[in-house]
Structure 1
Amino acid sequence: ASEGEATAASTSADWLGSAPSIAEGDIVETRDTELLIIGAGNAGMAAAATAADLGLDFTLCEKSGSMQSTRHWFGAVNTRYTEEAGAKVDTARLLNELMRYSSCQGDPRVARVWIEESAEMVEWIDPILAAAGMACEFDNDVDHPTGGTEYLVPTIQHYYSGTDAAGEKLERNKVLLAYINERGYDVAYNHSLAKLVQDEAGRVTGAIFETPDGYVQINSERGVLLATGGYSSNSAMLHACNPMVERCVTSQAGSPNNVGDGIRAALWAGAAKDAVGAPLIFDRGAVLPGQNAGIVTEEGTPAGFAGEPVVQFNLGSQPFMKVGRDGKRFYNESTPYNDCCFAAASNEGGVFCQVFDANLKENVKRFSTIGCSRLTQIKLATQPDTPIDEIYAEEMERGVLIKADTLSELADKLGFEGQAKENFLHEVEKNNQFFDNQADLDFGKEPYRLSEIRTAPFYGCWYGGCILCTLDGVRINADMQVLDNDNHVIDGLYATGDCSGSMFANNYPEYFAGLACGRSLTFSRHAVRHMAGDIA
């Protein structure tokens, strides 16, 4: 396909634009490389370290002036740590559950690469991280009922941590940067992707970057690997491709660099994009009473929301009673993070209010939630004698966590008036009855995740969703090769991480803790090995 002949995932293609016209005379420098990787985040750094191991003459370009931050938790299937923990994941069920989450809009052949190769990825990266002083913690305590139905909660989450000689906390991406530096490679910073370069047959042969010195063209013998992230900071793309974000998100935890430039460049080169959006949203976007979900910044600037600058209040993922502005409970709070946000999209303002009492610590310990929501358990367990007000002093000072001595006073402070206040107080009474009878007759929440609201002081906080990233990207095959709208490979073009698609639709399966990053690391390694001819 020629430049600009890409098909958008939405009927509105305003966000797509067209490839910039760059005259040959505008290019101030041309370089040649064996393999070009674009983006130095979780996916790009794993790709670069793999390329270094293979001895490839590669170039790693990053649009900003520094490497991107590390997502520490990642999911991997049936690794040495799984075996040591005495756990084993049923891979057939895992695959089919993934397809069920995406309503079969993901490609099972692509998903199988993560399932079948993530253990090898761990075997590869483990000694690199161990040599730097990082050790793996494996999350095995996940086997308990949740969500009121038969959710699969696989034991897949790995977390590497450690400190350097100076006592500074180690990060995987920084360790991988040191790893490639030791082998004579580095990152070309301040290289912002302008467009891909194709030959007459349509093969991608390189890319043109905008740099402080002007346009630079880098030609690549083995092709280009896009690891440029999603588009969670691009207002126009969110409007067109992920409209649910406008209805339920109140904060942004993604990088302002994630504006979809790699996705758009691939579409200009003829790529197909996932037809359905897949936002990764957590129920932690704390806001003040009266604030609404939705993008509040001007188009053309990074997408911003009412709940910023603080992006996540982890307590929001705990399954306490939650109500809308009408004071009524509206769903089972013991479900994946994004479910609450999607349900709240139908509430006034797209927000919800979480309520609990002085027994917070005991209740959170009993809830035993999984994934990164366990940070709240850890925070409270390590401060058993510290008052709640002191633990959450910052949130209380901001005014998002509200405290009262009576439930009527709490309702007033949270903004409930008239019938909404009556509804709220009635829901609290009904919630307490459900706790006494150990049965949620409205939404079927598990008895061990019920909690009473009787012991003063009482607390409440309004939330919307917090978007971390988008997961709908350009369509790929099982070798991470980008596909066109006829499902044919675009020769020389690969994609990995959040700019790649064919895996998710509508949601992120948050009970598959660490899946997004685990997929990125695994796919990056596979893509580079395929480009190098190391695997068929």
Structure 2
Amino acid sequence: MGSSNMSTRQMDTATDRRPIRRNGMADPHMFSNKTSNKPSWETVPSAISDSQISSNEEFDVVIVGAGCAGIFAAHSAAEQGLKVAVVEKFSGLSARGMDNAAVNSKLQLASGEKIDEDLIFADLIRFANNRVHPELVNIWVRQSGRVFDHYIDLCQANDMQVALVDCFSVAKEHPDLYRQYPTAHIFAGKGQAISTGNEYVPTQEAFLKFVEAQCIELGVSFQYNTSCERILRDGDGPVSGIIGKDAENNYVKLTATKAVILAAGGYTENQEMVDAWCPAANDPEIKTYGPEGGNSGEVFAQALWTGAGLQNWPHPVMVHTIPGFNVDLMTGNQSFMHVNRLGKRFQSESMPNQTLTDGRFRQPGKQAWAVFDAKYEQDHATFETGFDGPVNEPIEQLNGFADKGWVHRADTLEGLAEQMGIPADTFAATCKRYTEMAKKGKDEDFNKESYLMFTIEQGPFYAVPIRSHLLVTVGGLDCDPDMQVLDNDGNKIEGLYAVGNMQGNFFANEYPLMAPGLSHGRAITLSYVLGERLAEK
């Protein structure tokens, strides 16, 4: 049977309805909102015959996806002298965000920000409840510094800017409670604005375009407007390449003599996959993350057709209060009081952003508001800026939002409660108790850090509805410590690797905010290390 035809394994997967069990648990492929309990990805499409293929190129490494992980895997492999192709369904690379995490880069060490590698490693494993491969996390902890040094040198030699991002450390009275590590680096174009806090500046695109240009100089073939349609595997043999479809709807075959690397992102736009593998991704109110169609999960399905397994479900997810949009961003401030629609406070607000979101999701109707008074600018005057730190909109601008109905504003707490549609007596009592505890410097209800508590007593009073934004799923294919994809029995699939958000077993539970930029940092470091390792094969 030729490598372009449907394998025996694929045909078995299409017809066998029995749930495969892994680690004593039914395989997550079998969970779906469909009445048949058969997910769409278990129906393998017809094989693409050799006669349908218009061209065939051979490479050492074929990479599916030109996002952060794919670009750095390509650059690393090409630097090692490998012949590399990158297949991408869009017309150009995909870039978002701005923070990139590393441990003990030359930039950090020069600024006196030496990180305890053993401690951050232990914290990440503990945060994941040991539901990850420690070896994968260890690659980032121990090798991100030297990988980032390489890109710091490369960028600075080409007039790119490199900067560290300040972090806002939430836990001051109990510093071991929510440790924050100064991991975030920003790489920006010459003269480009740089954010050192929560303000979103899209510097990542400049960084990835710079690395893409370096890849092209090294001979990497970027095949844009070309979607991956099949991952080629004959039976239980190695993965040998992919079949893509170009802009003219021609099938093209790319043979890979060393590896196919899957770097096609998450699956937040595939509702069936979200329901089956990551139902927590249904909770956020806002679910847009560009480019549209970029996280549709089709490459996950193609991997499953080859027999690939998944990281144990439910998969982790990255959720924040909505980033970068005026007054909505203020709701992430841990210095405000949060109340639910019963008019009651329900948690310590001095927790990391995503942890606060988890607490809101368990409230009636998932509703909550951030409440503060007219002196918030004065209250925040001495706060440091930085990642996950307080964000202030000038009061004139805040009042403008209130005039438009985006923010509740009233001269009395009772009037504010009426606008919010919550019980006025309960709400007023909640504000009174919070104010009393702020004056005493002790949160007797939830142990909030006292320096983050401010009285609510000077009108006008404000309440901002809290919303959250789904960014990406950060769980993926079952991968071993070599980044090699495993089948449903835990065996290596020779020639198949996954990086970035297609790679499982690096994150569990949810995305940890203790190391800002870790999603990009993981993608850059592990992809670079993988390129080096493939050159040694």
Most deviating of 184-193 and 346-355? 184-193
Is the Cα–Cα contact under 8 Å of residues 471 and 504 in structure 1 kept in the other structure? yes
State the match for 1:383 in structure 2.
none
Is the Cα–Cα contact under 8 Å of residues 274 and 502 in structure 1 kept in the other structure? yes
State the match for 1:316 in structure 2.
331
Selected match of 1:11 from 21, 26, 31: 31
Please show how residues 38-437 of structure 1 align to structure 2 within 5 Å. Answer: 38-139=64-165, 142=168, 145=171, 150-163=177-190, 171-214=206-249, 215-253=251-289, 255-256=291-292, 257-275=294-312, 276-284=314-322, 313-319=328-334, 320-366=336-382, 368=384, 370-371=386-387, 373-374=388-389, 377=391, 387-390=394-397, 393=400, 396=402, 399-416=405-422, 420-437=423-440
Is the Cα–Cα contact under 8 Å of residues 178 and 352 in structure 2 kept in the other structure? no
Deviation at 1:435, TM superposition (A): 0.9
Structure 1 gaps of 5+ residues are 287-309, 381-386
Distance 1:16 1:480 in 2: 23
Pick closer, same or farther for the CA change 1:146–1:203 going to 2, 3 Å. Answer: farther
Deviation at 1:95, TM superposition (A): 1.7
Deviation digits for residues 103-157 of structure 1 (CA, Å, limit 9, x no counterpart): 1111101110101110111111112222342222223555562696622322222
Deviation digits for residues 300-332 of structure 1 (CA, Å, limit 9, x no counterpart): xxxxxxxxxx79932221011111111111111
Distance 2:511 2:298 in 1: 22
Give the counterpart letter for 1:20 in structure 2.
P
Normalised to the residue count of structure 1, the TM-score between the two structures is 0.85
1:21 has 2:56 as partner: no
Deviation at 1:200, TM superposition (A): 4.1
Q: Equivalent pairs: percent with the same residue?
A: 27
Q: What value does the CA root-mean-square deviation take over the aligned residues?
A: 2.8
Q: Secondary structure at the match of 2:416?
A: helix
Deviation at 1:496, TM superposition (A): 0.5
Is the Cα–Cα contact under 8 Å of residues 192 and 209 in structure 1 kept in the other structure? yes
Deviation at 1:282, TM superposition (A): 0.6
Distance 1:209 1:312 in 2: 44
Most deviating of 512-521 and 247-256? 247-256
State the match for 1:303 in structure 2.
none
Distance 1:173 1:396 in 2: 39
Pick closer, same or farther for the CA change 1:38–1:391 going to 2, 3 Å. Answer: farther
Is the Cα–Cα contact under 8 Å of residues 323 and 354 in structure 1 kept in the other structure? yes
Normalised to the residue count of structure 2, the TM-score between the two structures is 0.85
Pick closer, same or farther for the CA change 1:527–1:392 going to 2, 3 Å. Answer: farther
Distance 1:407 1:84 in 2: 50
Most deviating of 63-72 and 180-189? 180-189
Q: Secondary structure at the match of 2:438?
A: helix
State the match for 2:505 in structure 1.
502
Distance 1:490 1:459 in 2: 56
Q: Secondary structure at the match of 2:347?
A: coil
Pick closer, same or farther for the CA change 1:398–1:481 going to 2, 3 Å. Answer: farther
Distance 2:443 2:271 in 1: 39
Runs of 4+ in structure 1 off by over 6 angstroms are 165-170
Q: Secondary structure at the match of 1:491?
A: strand
Distance 2:172 2:55 in 1: 57
Deviation digits for residues 475-509 of structure 1 (CA, Å, limit 9, x no counterpart): 22222111223322110001110111111112111
Pick closer, same or farther for the CA change 1:282–1:165 going to 2, 3 Å. Answer: closer
Structure 2 gaps of 5+ residues are 1-7, 14-19, 21-26, 33-37, 195-201
Give the counterpart letter for 2:209 in structure 1.
K
Deviation at 1:397, TM superposition (A): 6.8
Deviation at 1:342, TM superposition (A): 1.4
Give the counterpart letter for 1:506 in structure 2.
N
Give the counterpart letter for 1:434 in structure 2.
M
Pick closer, same or farther for the CA change 1:255–1:331 going to 2, 3 Å. Answer: farther
Distance 1:259 1:402 in 2: 37
Selected match of 1:462 from 450, 455, 465: 465
State the match for 1:440 in structure 2.
443
Count of matched residue positions in the alignment of Structure 1 and Structure 2: 498
Deviation at 1:35, TM superposition (A): 1.0
Deviation digits for residues 20-63 of structure 1 (CA, Å, limit 9, x no counterpart): 22331333332222210111111111122223322322111111
Distance 2:326 2:232 in 1: 37
Pick closer, same or farther for the CA change 1:15–1:105 going to 2, 3 Å. Answer: farther
Most deviating of 162-171 and 8-17? 162-171
Deviation at 1:89, TM superposition (A): 1.9
State the match for 2:5 in structure 1.
none
Is the Cα–Cα contact under 8 Å of residues 20 and 194 in structure 1 kept in the other structure? no
Distance 1:29 1:397 in 2: 61
Deviation at 1:76, TM superposition (A): 0.5
Most deviating of 457-466 and 146-155? 146-155
Distance 2:348 2:296 in 1: 34
